[in-house]
Chain A
Amino acid sequence: MNILRNRDELGAHLRFQEPGKAREMAATLARVTRSIGREPVSVMHVCGSHEQAIARYGLRAAFPRELDVIMGPGCPVCVTDVPEVDEAVLLAAQGVRVFTYGDMLRVPGSVKSLADAKAEGSTVDVVYGIGQAVQIARETREECVFFASGFETTAVATAAVILAGLPQNLSVLSAHKYIPPVMEIVAEMPQTRIEGFLAAGHAAAITGFGIFERFTERHKLPVVVAGFEPLDILAGLIRLVELIRERRAEVANMYPRCVTREGNRQAQEALWSVFRPIGGRWRGIAHVPNGNLRLRDQFAHVDARRRFQIDLHQLWDHAPANLTQNCICGDIMAGIASPTGCSLYGNRCDPDHPVGACMVSSEGTCRIWHQYGGHLDLGYGS
């Protein structure tokens, strides 16, 4: 084992993680931002993995004070709506074996989460991918459901497995979400301060960056596609702030090693042959036209919603008062409000009993404020 040598190798290969280069980029980002001559300059990323990377590396500390990098509705698990979780919980309660991604386990429904259902004796397995769900289903006679959450990148994997054929006892409960429509919603929010978007690199790897061209025209806002290593994020932000400074509402691709204009055609074909977009609520945000992905009719035989009777009222009759209408996560994610401005924050909504998306995620704004009274980032190391 040689730890240090391997770290260097990682950096040399694909990891774009050199701190020295990051400082140079951070200095450039500060200069470019300050050259705009006003503050704050507000940009939004719409990707939970961007927030994860920003938090993981303490990058927020490297952003200039004048730049407000707002965490948008980019966590597919956080924005999965209450009734979708309820459906999975009810299936588990009916004796169906439910497979889920780990992120989803503790996300609360109207009465309980899948973790609660498991504690009460239902069979709920955390899987790394749908491939693993297929494996387990093959080894059992139990009726199994894969609770499919995630954005288009993850939906593509679900589609590929459905196209390859599922075991007879496995069906899919789709809570997959599609990102481009929600960017429209955020861009159209009346009080929005967003001047540009950092688009999600791995979703764009599938859809291609061409998909954002009409968006930039319509909303007169620049979009930069960025990757997830520290240098990728800093480079993406520099380019985005440059475009804002030059008032150029364009798409820039700063993640060429993964993203092309056309995207991954093969993946798109799989995606759209299996799923169709429909409107639906995103937790704490809004009704998003075409924001949800549901199985097409020809895949009805593997659609858990059609294979099983899921009587949501059975659960809702016992549900506590609906708090979500008082939740201001949408405003927090749009950068209009802060957690302390929410009437639920800290009393009715806390990490153990989250109401809105921002309290669900470990990197959610409300969650972080609740745990630490502010941001995780503190400044540069000495």
Chain B
Amino acid sequence: MTTILGRDGTISLKHGAGGRAMRELIRDVFLQGEQALPEGTIGLDAMDDGAALRVGGEWLVMTTDSYVISPPFFPGGDIGGLAVSGTVNDLAMMGATQPLALTCAVIIEEGFSRSDLEQIQRSLHATCRKAGTAIVTGDTKVMRRGEIDGIVINTAGIALTKRVVTDRGLKPGDSIIVTGTMGDHGLAVMAYRNAMGLEGAFSSDAAPINALVRAALECAPEEIVALKDPTRGGLSSALHEMAEKSGVGIVIQEHDIPIRDAVRAASELLGIDPLHAANEGKAVIGVRPEAAERVLAVLRRTALGADAAIVGTCVSERPGYVVLDTGFGRRLLVEPEGELLPRIC
């Protein structure tokens, strides 16, 4: 086991960036001394989007997530909508598309604008309505100025489902579908936050996609074998995690990946890879090949799935790796490490 900490034994930003460093941190710190759970439980050790516990003939799915984003308002959304979407989507990524209820805990910095808070609250509730759920309990704390950056929101959610879908069910031959354009949230926030002077049609994709996932699961209940939302670390991180856990290689056709013009252009200007940029309203779906076209057709009929595409295939070679076919040649897709940064070379 390699040590995940820096030589001075401190946590750095990359340990929260959703990539390999974070997975190693969870394994080496949070999984130590864990309690035994009932047989069949999908717990923290699965490092999936949520946990699943057997309750009678069904599964109770739980998930929790904390949201920090600076600034709290960005093109296409705000931290409130993000906090609800993220948790609803994490439940959906376990196959649980009817969230029963959410919790919401808010930590606010002294001096935070009350009208901003009210706007965030309206957004929390509007997004809940879209997802068909509600916040049923919460908590509020205020910290001294400078102790946190504006506002932190934690949401947790629960849902029941007959069938759990994990992120590790891929087999060679399975198709990989993405439910829409990649990199929208990451580039929108980056272009806005860093005052790069970029003008374009940037908009975060933050949205609950449980209805879209439900439609897909209804049309192929047995054939959808893996789900993951490509949030931090983008499509690249999601695919790496799915490939590693499933023990398959994944080959992606670059030209089939839907990417908005503005996102593609900004990525080129800033020298970053849109496949490393976060999405907050998309899913990566692993599906048996015979059902791929059927699932795709259903997705494309939904409001948020119009740009869905089949982008790749699972193979037995190179388990744990993701191969990108650029049309010019094939290469291994690099897994992002840490925050995305614009570069000059």
* Chain A directly contacts chain B within the complex, with at least one CB pair under 8 Å: yes
Q: Judge whether A105 is part of the interface by a CB distance below 8 angstroms.
A: yes
Chain A 211-247 interface 0/1 with B at a Cβ cutoff of 8 Å (1 = within): 0000000000000000000100000000000000000
**Shortest CB distance A18–B (Å):** 9
Q: Judge whether A154 is part of the interface by a CB distance below 8 angstroms.
A: yes
Restricting to B296-345, which residues have a CB under 8 Å from any CB of A?
307, 321, 323-332, 334, 337-338, 341-345
Closest to B343 in A: A103
| Contact B261–A128 (Cβ < 8 Å) | no
| Contact A380–B330 (Cβ < 8 Å) | yes
Q: Tally chain A residues at the interface, Cβ within 8 Å.
A: 49
Closest to B6 in A: A352
| Contact A128–B194 (Cβ < 8 Å) | yes
Q: Judge whether B29 is part of the interface by a CB distance below 8 angstroms.
A: no
**Shortest CB distance B295–A (Å):** 20
**Shortest CB distance A263–B (Å):** 19
Known: A3-B259, A58-B324. A150 touches B329 (CB 8 A): no
Within 8 Å CB of A150, what residues of B? 344-345
| Contact B258–A3 (Cβ < 8 Å) | yes
Q: Judge whether B23 is part of the interface by a CB distance below 8 angstroms.
A: no
Q: Judge whether B12 is part of the interface by a CB distance below 8 angstroms.
A: yes
Complex formed: what's the CA distance from A83 to B231 in Å? 38
Q: Judge whether B260 is part of the interface by a CB distance below 8 angstroms.
A: yes
Report the stretch among A27-35, A167-175, A306-314, A371-379 that lies at the interface.
A371-379
**Shortest CB distance A39–B (Å):** 20
| Contact B195–A132 (Cβ < 8 Å) | yes
Option from B260, B307, B329, B343 in Cβ contact (under 8 Å) with A381: B329
Chain A 250-285 interface 0/1 with B at a Cβ cutoff of 8 Å (1 = within): 000000000000000000000000000000000000
Known: A352-B6, A378-B330. A101 touches B324 (CB 8 A): no
Q: Judge whether B270 is part of the interface by a CB distance below 8 angstroms.
A: yes
Q: Judge whether A362 is part of the interface by a CB distance below 8 angstroms.
A: yes
Complex formed: what's the CA distance from A154 to B259 in Å? 29
**Shortest CB distance B121–A (Å):** 31
Q: Judge whether B197 is part of the interface by a CB distance below 8 angstroms.
A: yes
Option from A115, A154, A378 in Cβ contact (under 8 Å) with B332: A378
Option from A19, A52, A135, A381 in Cβ contact (under 8 Å) with B330: A381
Within 8 Å CB of B195, what residues of A? 132, 135
Chain A 1-29 interface 0/1 with B at a Cβ cutoff of 8 Å (1 = within): 10100110000000000010010000000
Report the stretch among A59-67, A89-97, A294-302, A327-335 that lies at the interface.
A59-67
Q: Judge whether B55 is part of the interface by a CB distance below 8 angstroms.
A: no
| Contact A58–B7 (Cβ < 8 Å) | no
Closest to A9 in B: B261
Complex formed: what's the CA distance from A105 to B338 in Å? 12
| Contact B323–A105 (Cβ < 8 Å) | no
Chain B 126-147 interface 0/1 with A at a Cβ cutoff of 8 Å (1 = within): 0000000000000000000000
Complex formed: what's the CA distance from A154 to B338 in Å? 25
| Contact A103–B341 (Cβ < 8 Å) | yes
Q: Judge whether A126 is part of the interface by a CB distance below 8 angstroms.
A: yes
Complex formed: what's the CA distance from A145 to B13 in Å? 24
Within 8 Å CB of B271, what residues of A? 52, 102
Restricting to A70-105, which residues have a CB under 8 Å from any CB of B?
75-77, 101-103, 105
Complex formed: what's the CA distance from A61 to B321 in Å? 17
Q: Judge whether A351 is part of the interface by a CB distance below 8 angstroms.
A: yes
| Contact A128–B345 (Cβ < 8 Å) | no
Option from A1, A52, A126 in Cβ contact (under 8 Å) with B260: A1
Restricting to B1-53, which residues have a CB under 8 Å from any CB of A?
6-7, 10, 12-13
Known: A58-B325, A105-B341, A132-B197. A371 touches B334 (CB 8 A): yes
| Contact B326–A58 (Cβ < 8 Å) | yes
Within 8 Å CB of B260, what residues of A? 1, 3
Q: Judge whether B196 is part of the interface by a CB distance below 8 angstroms.
A: yes
Option from A3, A119, A127 in Cβ contact (under 8 Å) with B12: A119
Known: A132-B195, A371-B334. A19 touches B343 (CB 8 A): no
Q: Judge whether A48 is part of the interface by a CB distance below 8 angstroms.
A: yes
Complex formed: what's the CA distance from A167 to B327 in Å? 48
Closest to B306 in A: A1
Within 8 Å CB of A372, what residues of B? 321, 332
Closest to B21 in A: A352
Within 8 Å CB of B337, what residues of A? 351
**Shortest CB distance A76–B (Å):** 6
Within 8 Å CB of B328, what residues of A? 19, 22, 57-59, 61-62, 230
**Shortest CB distance A233–B (Å):** 10
Closest to A350 in B: B2
**Shortest CB distance B336–A (Å):** 9
| Contact A48–B326 (Cβ < 8 Å) | no
Within 8 Å CB of A62, what residues of B? 328-329
Within 8 Å CB of B255, what residues of A? 7
Complex formed: what's the CA distance from A119 to B6 in Å? 12
Within 8 Å CB of A101, what residues of B? 342-344
**Shortest CB distance A144–B (Å):** 15
Within 8 Å CB of B12, what residues of A? 115, 119
**Shortest CB distance A335–B (Å):** 20
Complex formed: what's the CA distance from A351 to B14 in Å? 13
Besides the contacts A119-B13, A376-B334, A380-B330, what 10 more A-B pairs have beta carbons closer than 8 Å? A3-B259, A3-B307, A56-B326, A57-B327, A57-B329, A58-B326, A119-B10, A132-B195, A135-B195, A377-B331
What residues make up the interface of A, taking CB atoms closer than 8 Å to B?
1, 3, 6-7, 19, 22, 48-49, 52, 55-62, 75-77, 101-103, 105-106, 115, 119, 126-128, 132, 135, 149-151, 154, 230, 351-353, 362, 371-372, 376-381
- What are some 27 contacts across the A-B interface (CB < 8 A)? A1-B261, A3-B307, A19-B327, A49-B345, A56-B326, A58-B330, A60-B331, A101-B344, A102-B271, A102-B341, A102-B344, A103-B343, A115-B12, A128-B196, A128-B197, A128-B342, A150-B345, A151-B345, A154-B344, A351-B337, A376-B332, A377-B331, A380-B329, A380-B330, A381-B325, A381-B326, A381-B327
